[in-house]
Amino acid sequence: MKLWPYFLGAWLVLTGLNSVINLNFKYEAIVMGVIALVAGVLVILRK
């Protein structure tokens, strides 16, 4: 099961919303960082 597209998509959507409508929420930097790390690791490890 390929999960990395979902994590990458979530990261891209949240990044876009943050830029367009100035979306701010508690622990935003931590959440965005974790999503980006998980997506990146899954892309590297995909088979």
One-letter amino acid at 16 equals: G
Domain count for the chain: 1
The separation between the first and the last C-alpha atoms of the chain, rounded to the nearest angstrom, is 10
User: What's the pLDDT tens digit per position in 4-47?
Assistant: 788 888 888 888 877 788 767 788 788 888 888 888 787 788 75
d(CA 3, CA 17): 22
* Structural domain containing residue 10: 4-45
Q: Is the pTM of this model over 0.85?
A: no
DSSP-assigned states of every residue in the chain: ---HHHHHHHHHHHHHHHHHH----TTHHHHHHHHHHHHHHHHHH--
